Amino acid sequence: MPLSGEATTTRSRGQYSTSKLLFFLILAFGLMYLDYKGQYLNKVRSYISVTTYPIHVVMNAPKNIFLKLTESMGQREKIILDNQKLKTENITLGSQIQKIYSLERENKRLRELLDSKPKTEDIFVLAEIVTENPDPFKHRIIINKGSKEDVHTNQTIADSKGIIGHVIRDQIFGSEVLLITDPEHAIPIEVARTGLRSIALGMGSYEEIKLSYLAVNTDIQKGDILLTSGLGGQYPVGYPVAIVDKISALEGESFLEVRAKPFANLTNINEVWVIQRAVDGAIEFE
Amino acid sequence: MNRELKNTLYTWAILIISCSLLVVPLPEFLSFFRLPWLSLAVIFFSIMTPAGFGVISAWIIGLLADVLQGNIFGGNAMALSLIAYLSYRFHLQIRVFPMWQMMLSVLLLLFLNELLVLWVDGIQGQMTFNYIRWLGIILGTLIWPIFMAFLLNLKSKIL
């Protein structure tokens, strides 16, 4: 077995002294405590992330380039088909938008009648995904817009179909996003049909989130659409989150077991919108 | 370039590469093949070439790994500095062990590292039992002889 022939024992003893270890262990525990208790360390973290962001970009470059290449080398017929599909989709969407114009006008007129402040519009910023967290139980991604482009903690991330999650840490060139399916995540929702409010919790599966503590006699059906309720001030009001998929009432339990499927495509995220909310868009509780 | 500087550069290059390997995207069918590269590298340097390494280096690279993985600040730093210390304490014995005993010690160290990380996660209330990481420990132990021979060879070629 090859051994390095250096006489290292006496030279290196100082680098492994017990006092050094104890000092750095205590330092590590201090950092963990600060990081856990408050967000004191986010500035430090965002500065260190300047060095880690290039690592993410480099490690994900082969995958991202491969995806781009397969996209651009796609067969001609497929592109033509896609184009046709998009054209028809565009026409339908266009006709739906016409309705929205009139609705928006009507909404504005009614608000003027009521003398209430009109809702200001949200700003959308397009971002691309850099990497996903390799741990299958941590549903987190990093996107390529950070505090340099005015993307900050607590802003909402959505794709074209629904809410994806929100920014938990802004770095300088990118930001970390917690997905709604992460076991640590909870999002206040409202059932579109009945106005019932609840909280949807992530479960660690990309396909479903759950509503807990709904009494057995709650009016909820399969196919009900869940929107963000805006309570708590974290998410803007009225964005689609998920569709109720499965309801089961276990005998002897006092609560329903409700599972819902997120609208957003969480397994294959490519481009996302960062929703930068207008200031008075939500109800705030402090 | 003198020998010591070269050695330090080599150590840090390997550390950064193994740190990057922690976040490399893998296709679904390969997702079990996620080895604890960084812990292996820390154990290697503490046992084989302790002069260019130390508790502080392990701590710093652990902090970098924390930021890279989005973990709590200081979790990996704590675990890795402890692993570096323990490996160094027993490095004279471990070096002369026959290979299977050496692998057993590596398994023990990797296991301890994993327990510490799991403990920190548990304190935050997000402990999930992830069999992939335990499988990674066993695979990491099995790959140790190749890993060690590769790094030693590379070193003797470069320096």
Domains of chain B: which residue ranges?
A: 3-23+33-158
Locate the chain A residue with the closest alpha carbon to B148: A2
A118: burial class by Cβ within 10 Å (0-12, 13-18, 19+)? Answer: exposed
Residue A83, min C-alpha distance to chain B (Å): 29
Residue B78, min C-alpha distance to chain A (Å): 5
Q: Is the Cβ of B56 closer than 8 Å to some Cβ of chain A?
A: yes
Domains for chain A: give ranges and CATH numbers: 119-286 (2.40.10.340)
User: Contacts of residue A142 in chain B, CB cutoff 8 Å?
Assistant: 70
pLDDT, position A119: 62
Residue A248 phi/psi, 5° resolution? -135, 135
Per-residue pLDDT tens listing for chain A (286 residues): 444 544 445 556 788 888 999 999 999 999 998 888 877 788 888 888 888 888 888 888 888 888 778 777 777 778 888 899 999 999 988 888 888 888 888 888 888 888 766 566 788 889 988 888 877 778 899 998 988 888 888 899 998 888 999 998 888 888 999 999 998 899 999 998 898 999 999 988 888 999 988 888 888 989 999 999 888 888 888 889 999 999 988 888 888 889 999 999 888 888 899 998 765 444 444 3
Contact check, Cβ <8 Å, A16/B46: yes
pLDDT, position B14: 93
CB A130, CB A272: distance < 8 Å: no
**What is the pLDDT averaged over residues B136-153?**
93
Provide, rounded to the nearest whole percent, the portion of chain B with pLDDT above 90. 57
Residue A111 phi/psi, 5° resolution? -65, -40
- Residue among B74, B82, B99 minimizing CB distance to A31: B74
- Beta carbons within 8 Å of B82's beta carbon, 6+ residues apart: A21, A25, B112, B116
pLDDT, position A278: 64
**CA separation for the pair A95, A91 (Å, rounded):** 6
Q: Which tokens is A96 given? A: 């739906």
> Given pLDDT bands bounded at 50, 70 and 90, which one contains residue B80?
very high
Q: Which tokens is B79 given? A: 């675990």
Mean pLDDT lowest for which of A85-89, A111-115, B21-25, B148-152? A111-115
Whose tokens are 């890279």? That residue is: B68
Residue A126, min C-alpha distance to chain B (Å): 23
pLDDT, position A61: 86
If you count them, how many residues does chain B have? 159
Q: What is the ipTM of this complex?
A: 0.88
DSSP A255: B
Whose tokens are 């950070």? That residue is: A146
Instruction: Tell me: pLDDT of B37 over 80.
Output: yes
Alpha-carbon separation of residue B57 from A15, A18, B51, B77, B84 (angstroms): 9, 15, 11, 10, 9
pLDDT, position B141: 95
**What is the pLDDT averaged over residues B105-130?**
86
Q: Give the pTM.
A: 0.80
Closest CA to A260 of A273, A215, A214: A214
